[in-house]
């Protein structure tokens, strides 16, 4: 049976409380401040009125996967205090539609895509933050550059006007144990710190976006600054 809006809203609020508790718990284990962690609500397939519950409860960042889906929901949301990121794979022919409607595109994995985003941002007089997506497990099914290619892509896109290179993002392979989960996050954190240490012009390592519903706890232990949580907040997607 379809759940009522009120029931769904209540469960989002309860889930949010649980997630915040776990963020605090992870932070206390590794000696970080919860202020260092940004909780992103991942809103694919979630109706606007349910998303709004999370935003009204203090979630400040939302992530959408698909351009069309976001543009379809946007007018039904109050986004004045919300930072919106695109987190899904972006085709170059959709760049025009999305630039100017989101602050950040987390899924940049080619020079060509970065150039398109930069060009369109300049045209619109905006600066779009971009993260380089790293395919940390070298999986054929996933987009992203390999760990070893990341720095060279960052160096190529850094000089482009209209974008600000703000960090790294990854979707790691499915892992079952806590240890397995932490391994890939640890590799990402090392890369993040290495690149930060190189002080490359126009490359800002502000955001390390990693950790989803099943592994955000481990991601925080390994240095994530932004976690992307969907189903643990809104319930399973249908």
Ligand X SMILES: *Cc1c(COP(=O)(O)O)cnc(C)c1O
Binding-site ranges for ligand X (CB under 6 A): 42, 44, 65, 87-88, 171, 212-214, 228-232
Q: What is d(CA 144, CA 108) in angstroms, rounded to the nearest whole number?
A: 7
Q: Compute the least distance from the CB of residue 208 to ligand X, in Å.
A: 14
Coil vs helix vs strand at 61: strand
Choose between 89 and 196: whose C-beta lies nearer to ligand X. 89
149 and 183 in contact (C-beta within 8 Å)?
A: no
22 and 217 in contact (C-beta within 8 Å)?
A: yes
Choose between 158 and 212: whose C-beta lies nearer to ligand X. 212
Choose between 176 and 199: whose C-beta lies nearer to ligand X. 176
Q: How many CB atoms lie within 10 A of CB 21?
A: 10
Choose between 63 and 162: whose C-beta lies nearer to ligand X. 63
Q: Compute the least distance from the CB of residue 27 to ligand X, in Å.
A: 19
**End-to-end CA distance of the chain, in Å?**
13
Q: Compute the least distance from the CB of residue 125 to ligand X, in Å.
A: 28
Choose between 68 and 152: whose C-beta lies nearer to ligand X. 68
Q: Compute the least distance from the CB of residue 144 to ligand X, in Å.
A: 10
Which residues, at least 6 apart from 21, have a Cβ–Cβ distance to it below 8 Å?
none
Q: Compute the least distance from the CB of residue 112 to ligand X, in Å.
A: 20
Among residues 20, 17, 87, 82, the alpha carbon closest in space to that of 51 is found at: 82
Q: Compute the least distance from the CB of residue 40 to ligand X, in Å.
A: 8
Scanning the chain, the segments in alpha helix (DSSP H) are 5-30, 48-56, 67-74, 95-98, 111-124, 147-157, 178-197, 216-221, 231-234
Residue 179 to residues 134, 169, 221, 225, Cα–Cα distance (Å): 20, 20, 11, 19
Q: Compute the least distance from the CB of residue 100 to ligand X, in Å.
A: 21
Choose between 160 and 226: whose C-beta lies nearer to ligand X. 226
Choose between 153 and 232: whose C-beta lies nearer to ligand X. 232
Q: What is d(CA 133, CA 129) in angstroms, rounded to the nearest whole number?
A: 13
């Amino acid at each position: 049976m379809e759940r009522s809006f009120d029931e769904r809203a209540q469960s989002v609020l309860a889930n949010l409380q649980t997630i915040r508790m776990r963020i605090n718990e992870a932070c206390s284990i590794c000696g970080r401040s919860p202020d260092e962690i940004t909780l992103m609500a991942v809103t694919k397939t979630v109706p606007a009125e349910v998303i709004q519950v999370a935003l009204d409860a203090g979630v400040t960042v939302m992530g959408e996967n698909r351009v069309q889906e976001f543009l379809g929901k946007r007018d039904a949301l109050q986004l004045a205090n919300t930072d919106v990121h695109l987190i899904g794979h972006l085709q170059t022919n959709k760049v025009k539609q999305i630039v100017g409607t989101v602050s950040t595109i987390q899924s940049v994995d080619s020079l060509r895509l970065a150039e398109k985003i930069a060009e369109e941002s300049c045209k619109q007089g905006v600066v779009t933050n971009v993260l380089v997506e790293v395919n940390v497990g070298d999986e054929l099914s996933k987009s992203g550059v390999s760990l070893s290619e990341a720095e060279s892509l960052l160096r190529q896109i850094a000089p482009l006007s209209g974008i600000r290179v703000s960090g790294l993002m990854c979707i790691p392979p499915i892992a079952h144990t806590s240890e397995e989960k932490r391994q890939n996050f640890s590799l990402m954190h090392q890369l993040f710190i290495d690149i930060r240490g190189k002080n490359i012009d126009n490359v800002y390592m502000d955001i390390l976006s990693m950790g989803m519903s099943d592994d955000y706890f481990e991601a925080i232990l390994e240095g994530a600054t932004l976690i992307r949580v969907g189903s643990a907040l809104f319930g399973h997607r249908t």
